[in-house]
């Protein structure tokens, strides 16, 4: 192993950490992109070494820059095989650090999150005081022990994920660095390396999505063959054994099943005459949240062993009626959406489960209403028998088809096609609604109104974001990794699905997924504003590009704790030394 990985990776991590790059700030993220390019070139700018790296910027439509850097081997048998080294450099916000800095009377509290040494001193003082008073929580006890060990670097982005990006930058520089005899390590390989550092992984993955077309173009221009992607996103403890470290050969996906609910409004004094949309929403959440039958599992081979992996069950992220003010009328509309991590389930399979849950929720609401009316009547209460309702469960795509099939030139606007009407309504809604989930619901409501659909009903659709899953597979990268891991001086486990949402989802897509299944039930997809810019970061064109890219994936990242939290930290011995070593040796085996 090159002896300077730890030193270089720590130096690069600290340099990147010092630059605030909170997503989605164009200026701040671009300052970090500039620093990445500068650090890639830094070892080659003295008088004896000519630059061997040429980082370039690939700009997204919003002006944020990816940093791409192709290092080509001069090996006579270079086949064009190329490994993409990928990481992101944006971070989440720092409000908790600002509050900490103010309470500790730091001169510039906003900078505290990006100054690891000063942050460590502040945290040590705060936690030591709490420790003396026996007030440490379990989370604080762990952070305090980490501070005392001296083996952890704290700060926003320390583990998620500037240290991971620093590790692949160190590896790329090592392969590019001229040796004493003038040769370069890259020239001993029968293939190339392509570093891709992306902005905006934390919000809508605009960085990697904007880079897809460039990656495909570069492959054609340079006649490259992408062996796969080595991603360097963070890893964390998965169970009580905190000594274990993890590398992964696939990634989870994410769906956001969404439900626009139509009730039947009624006065609260005549509750049996209507159907409360909030009641339907509550039953729906009860049906779906933590439901075992929604848990996605996978059986397959990882590292030569048959394993079973299970994704966590779904959980509600949003449930509310859509009343805008107080009155004594039951809710006529409601919105529910749930977070669902997937391993193999396709959007089509997901829609089947969504339909079953919606039908069950409506049945339970109807049964409870009838039982309540029966009990009310048996006690002498007087109310007419509840009306008979024919509840409907409809996919958004079915709703659109219904409206389109009945569309004519006289309504709602002469001479306007349905597609033009839909896009115009989307543009009007976008003037006041910025959140993609609410935007989608408003558009669904518009189409539902036009269709004449009445409640009780539930319209099924997908909200943004959508991340495809990628099942583990045997390929050149996993084969190389299997040769490396037995010789690494650390307890490292090779697992299947990377368990967190990441840009890995846009490196390739499983063969069984039809991108049309998600596109037709994701209302914002492919709709554009008056300037032609899409309302959704993800378009069907992007999904097709993901399919064309078709890369295998592995994740070899730093190890840390409390990502996105105030005690975010990276374990330096593993993350700065061992993780880059694994990446380095995996490349050698794959391209050697």
Same domain, 48 and 162: yes
Same domain, 142 and 18: no
Same domain, 346 and 391: yes
Residue 326, in any domain of the structure: yes
Query: CATH number for the domain including 425?
Result: 3.30.70.360
Residue 207, in any domain of the structure: yes
Residue 537, in any domain of the structure: no
pLDDT(189) > 90: yes
- State which of 428, 444, 462 marks the end of a domain: 462
Query: CATH number for the domain including 229?
Result: 3.40.630.10
Model pLDDT for residues 534-581, shown as the tens digit of each residue: 888 899 999 999 999 999 999 999 999 999 999 999 999 999 999 999
Same domain, 194 and 278: no
Q: Per the structure, how many domains does the chain have?
A: 3
DSSP state letters, 166-231: HHHHHHHHHHHSB-TTS-BGGGGSSEEEEEEEES-TTTT-HHHHHHHHHHHHHHHHHT-EEEEEEE
Angle between helix 5-17 and helix 163-176 axes, rounded to 10 deg:
130
Same domain, 351 and 387: yes
Cβ(286)–Cβ(259) below 8 Å: no
Residue 533, in any domain of the structure: no
Element (H, E) at 426: helix 418-430
Residue 531, in any domain of the structure: no
What average pLDDT does range 122-144 have in this prediction? 93
- State which of 434, 462, 490 marks the end of a domain: 462
Mean pLDDT of the chain: 92
Q: 356 is in which domain, residue-wise?
A: 257-462
Please identify which residue in the block is written with the tokens 């039908």: 359
Same domain, 582 and 444: no
Residue 582, in any domain of the structure: yes
Residue 173, in any domain of the structure: yes
Same domain, 66 and 17: yes
Cβ(538)–Cβ(212) below 8 Å: no
Q: Give the Cα separation of 266 and 273 in Å (integer).
A: 6
Q: Give pLDDT, residue 312.
A: 93
Q: Give the Cα separation of 458 and 391 in Å (integer).
A: 8
**CA 7 remoteness from chain centre:** 30
pLDDT(273) > 60: yes
Band of pLDDT at residue 49, cut at 50, 70 and 90: low
Element (H, E) at 476: helix 476-484
Q: Give the Cα separation of 147 and 584 in Å (integer).
A: 29
**Distances 477 to 165, 229, 588 between C-alpha atoms, Å:** 19, 8, 10
pLDDT(182) > 60: yes
Same domain, 43 and 75: yes
Residue 540, in any domain of the structure: no
Model pLDDT for residues 402-446, shown as the tens digit of each residue: 998 888 755 555 678 898 999 999 999 999 998 999 999 999 999
Same domain, 383 and 456: yes
Same domain, 147 and 104: yes
Lowest mean pLDDT segment, chosen from 102-106, 153-157, 314-318 = 102-106
Lowest mean pLDDT segment, chosen from 77-91, 316-330, 357-371, 515-529 = 515-529
- Bridge-based pairing of strands 569-571 and 152-154 is antiparallel
pTM of the model: 0.92
- State which of 137, 152, 167 marks the end of a domain: 152
Q: Give the Cα separation of 101 and 586 in Å (integer).
A: 42
Q: State the CB neighbour count (10 A cutoff) for residue 151.
A: 13
DSSP state letters, 344-395: S--HHHHHHHHHHHHHHHHHHHHHHHHHHHHHHHHTT---PPPPP---EEEE
pLDDT(71) > 80: yes
Cβ(158)–Cβ(570) below 8 Å: yes
Model pLDDT for residues 457-479, shown as the tens digit of each residue: 999 999 999 999 999 989 999 99
Cβ(80)–Cβ(191) below 8 Å: yes
Same domain, 74 and 161: yes
Same domain, 172 and 237: yes
What average pLDDT does range 117-126 have in this prediction? 94
């Amino acid at each position: 192993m090159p002896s300077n990985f730890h030193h270089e990776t720590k130096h690069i991590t600290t340099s990147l950490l010092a630059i605030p790059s909170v997503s989605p700030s164009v200026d701040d993220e671009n300052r970090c992109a500039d620093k990445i390019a500068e650090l890639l070139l830094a070892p080659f700018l003295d008088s004896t070494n000519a630059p061997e790296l040429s980082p370039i910027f690939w700009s997204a439509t919003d002006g944020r820059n990816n940093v791409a850097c192709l290092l080509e081997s001069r090996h006579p048998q270079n086949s064009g095989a190329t490994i993409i080294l990928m990481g992101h450099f944006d971070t989440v916000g720092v409000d908790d650090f600002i509050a900490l800095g103010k309470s500790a009377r730091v001169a510039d509290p906003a900078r505290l999150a990006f100054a690891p040494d000063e942050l460590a001193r502040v945290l040590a003082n705060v936690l030591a005081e709490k420790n003396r008073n026996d007030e440490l929580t379990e989370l604080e006890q762990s952070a305090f022990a980490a501070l005392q060990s001296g083996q952890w670097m704290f700060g926003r982005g320390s583990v998620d994920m500037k240290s991971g990006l620093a590790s692949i930058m160190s590896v790329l520089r090592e392969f590019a660095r001229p040796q004493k005899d003038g040769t370069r390590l890259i020239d001993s390989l029968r293939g190339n390396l392509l570093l891709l550092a992306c902005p905006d992984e934390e919000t809508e993955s605009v960085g990697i999505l904007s880079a897809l077309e460039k990656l495909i173009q570069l492959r054609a221009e340079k006649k490259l063959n992408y062996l796969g992607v080595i991603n360097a996103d963070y890893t964390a403890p998965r169970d009580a054994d905190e000594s274990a470290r993890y590398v992964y050969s696939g990634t989870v996906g994410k769906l956001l099943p969404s439900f626009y609910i139509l009730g039947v409004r009624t006065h609260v004094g005549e509750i049996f005459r209507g159907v409360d949309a909030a009641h339907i929403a509550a039953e729906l959440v009860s049906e779906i949240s933590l439901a075992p039958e929604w848990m996605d599992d996978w059986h397959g081979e990882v590292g030569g062993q048959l394993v079973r992996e299970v994704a966590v069950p779904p959980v509600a992220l949003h449930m509310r009626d859509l009343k805008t003010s107080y009155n004594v009328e039951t809710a006529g509309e409601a919105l529910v959406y749930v977070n669902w991590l997937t391993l193999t389930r396709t959007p089509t399979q997901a829609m089947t489960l969504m339909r079953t849950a919606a039908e069950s929720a409506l049945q339970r609401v109807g049964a409870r209403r009838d039982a309540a009316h029966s009990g009310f009547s048996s006690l002498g209460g007087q109310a007419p028998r509840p009306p008979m309702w024919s509840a409907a469960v409809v996919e958004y795509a079915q709703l659109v088809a219904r409206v389109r099939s009945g569309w004519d030139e006289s309504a709602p606007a002469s001479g306007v096609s349905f597609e033009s009407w839909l896009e115009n309504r989307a543009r009007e809604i976008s003037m006041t609604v910025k959140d993609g989930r609410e935007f989608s619901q408003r558009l669904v409501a518009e189409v539902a109104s036009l269709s004449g659909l009445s409640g009780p009903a539930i319209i099924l659709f997908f909200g943004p974001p959508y991340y495809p899953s990628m099942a583990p597979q045997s390929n050149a990268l996993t084969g190389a990794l299997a040769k490396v891991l037995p010789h690494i001086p650390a307890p490292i486990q090779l697992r299947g699905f990377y368990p967190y949402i990441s840009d890995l989802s846009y490196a390739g897509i499983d063969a069984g997924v039809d991108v049309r299944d998600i596109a037709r039930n994701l209302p914002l997809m492919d709709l554009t504003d008056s300037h032609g810019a899409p309302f959704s970061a993800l378009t069907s064109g992007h999904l097709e590009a993901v399919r064309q890219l078709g890369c295998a994936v592995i994740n070899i990242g730093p190890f840390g704790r409390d990502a996105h939290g105030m005690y975010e930290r990276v374990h330096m011995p593993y993350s700065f030394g061992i993780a880059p070593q694994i990446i380095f040796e995996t490349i050698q085996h794959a391209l050697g």
